[in-house]
Amino acid sequence: MAIDYSQLIPNNVDLSSDRRLQRALENWQPRFLDWWKDMGPDGTSAFDVYLRTAISTDSNGWANFGYVKMPEYRWGIFLADRDPNREIAFGDNKGKPAWQDVPGELRSTLRRLIVTQGDTEPASVEQQRLLGKTAPSLYDLRNLFQINVEEGRHLWAMVYLLHAYFGRDGREEAEAMLERHSGDPDKPRILGAFNEATPDWLSFFMFTYFTDRDGKYQLASLAESGFDPLARSCRFMLTEEAHHMFVGETGVGRILQRTCELMKEHRTDDVRSLGGIDLPTIQKYLNFHFSVSLDLFGQEASTNAANYYTQGVKGRFLETRIDDDHLLVNANYEIDTVEDGRIVRKAVPALQALNERLRQDYIDDCAKGVLRWNKTIERAGIDFELSLPHRAFDRQIGAFAGMRVSPTGKVLSEAEWNAHKDHWLPTDEDRAYVTSLMGAAVTQPGKYAHWIAPPARGINNQPVDFEYVRFN
């Protein structure tokens, strides 16, 4: 269905046929815009940004490029097309038609899942609020803003579901989305990783590589949901999410490339004296962002996860492509967990292990980008390998929370941990160094900050020296 842009709120859900819903969302819209003004990218309202806007959800229409002032971005409600024959693919309701409305007994479960997902979207915009001031190029600045407007749209996607299907409770939850704020001591965002600061561009690229990728896996499992409007929302969000992870992967890759150039050119490991980011520091940031993101998948063995699956509200990654009974009642799955202070591998009922299974899919995906980063280092002839730390490293949630575990998975005493932790996680000094590189934004087309290489190609076939942002 084409997107109706004549409406105040662009949408492909025939919003004008439901006046009550339309009015409720039109009431929420100015609050969203106030939030964008107060908590979105700071001081940017006059900028013309070369942005991608969806004009339909098919492959031709979802990526339309042009200059837009961000407060005028057409945030809207776009669901992937409905498949009238879609059936629930798993759990007790397997084979039944997908629900077009919320089953009464699943109301609070679905609301909670939608609120938790929705809360992450504006959170990341808040976390990235000040990054524009130190952008390493116009290309990067534009990518930051693209991600910001799309996270705003993802909030719209979830708020639409709350308004359309959850009545008064849903409307209250939609209000609360704009009242919690990232890092706010009184009203924080729901999940830990979304209350961390994103103070510099190395953090930003690591965040978009690792934490946006958690988003991909959560959205993908909600895209399997028996609740069809949620599934269709998430499917369209996934197409946008891919760009966010691209920004992270290529951003880290370009920093690595620059670091390697400096190392080779000057025949030294001491990249800091040359104004670059040294490889060990990049590894420490990787360790931090990976482990924080692993926490987002929840407990290794989880009754909630089992219930979500059995009830048909949240599936596995690419559920329909998995060759098994999609019930999992008699299946087992091996997880790493802790017994007597040791990490052990143990078979548990597969239904309880669904968080861990999703986390494993995520880890496998993360590892692919690390391989590509290592290729960049290898091509430069430098003997250094980045690696993902062990899943038990520096965890705050799940079986490993509070344990001291090295990046290779060795359980440590407190004293051993304290002796090494500064080699594994960014220290205050590392953070101060990285922050010190983040000078005033580089605003000349085609110019890039010293610590990062230009991209291999521009956005939408534009050159790398294209004027991606005009400041007016």
- Which residues of this chain interact with Fe ion, rule CB under 5 A? 121, 151, 154, 212, 241, 244
**Integer-rounded Cα radius of gyration of the chain:** 23
Helix (H) or strand (E) run with residue 334 in it: strand 332-339
CB of 122 to Fe ion, least distance (A): 10
CB of 46 to Fe ion, least distance (A): 25
CB of 151 to Fe ion, least distance (A): 5
Q: CB neighbours of 170 closer than 8 A, spacing ≥ 6?
A: 111, 161, 162, 163, 164
Helix (H, G, I), strand (E, B) or coil at 359: helix
- In the complex with Fe ion, the residue whose CB is nearer, 106 or 220, is 220
Beta bridge partners of 349: 332
CA torsion sign, 147 to 462 to 248 to 430? negative
- In the complex with Fe ion, the residue whose CB is nearer, 151 or 361, is 151
Q: Are 199 and 232 a contacting pair, CB within 8 Å?
A: no
- In the complex with Fe ion, the residue whose CB is nearer, 210 or 400, is 210
- In the complex with Fe ion, the residue whose CB is nearer, 194 or 373, is 194
CB of 234 to Fe ion, least distance (A): 10
Residue 209: CB atoms within 10 Å: 27
Helix (H) or strand (E) run with residue 433 in it: helix 428-437
Measuring CA to CA, how many Å separate 272 from each of 188, 440, 451?
35, 19, 10
Q: Are 41 and 69 a contacting pair, CB within 8 Å?
A: no
Helix (H, G, I), strand (E, B) or coil at 77: strand
Q: Are 454 and 142 a contacting pair, CB within 8 Å?
A: no
Token pair 């949630």 in the structure block, residue: 397
Beta bridge partners of 64: 53
CB of 154 to Fe ion, least distance (A): 4
- In the complex with Fe ion, the residue whose CB is nearer, 121 or 228, is 121
Q: CB neighbours of 221 closer than 8 A, spacing ≥ 6?
A: 314, 315, 316, 317, 319, 358
- In the complex with Fe ion, the residue whose CB is nearer, 190 or 327, is 190
- In the complex with Fe ion, the residue whose CB is nearer, 151 or 278, is 151
CB of 159 to Fe ion, least distance (A): 13
Kindly report the length of the chain: 472
- In the complex with Fe ion, the residue whose CB is nearer, 109 or 146, is 146
CB of 198 to Fe ion, least distance (A): 12
CB of 30 to Fe ion, least distance (A): 22
Q: Which amino acid is it at 208?
A: T
- In the complex with Fe ion, the residue whose CB is nearer, 228 or 241, is 241
Nearest to 13 by CA among 71, 100, 107, 102: 100
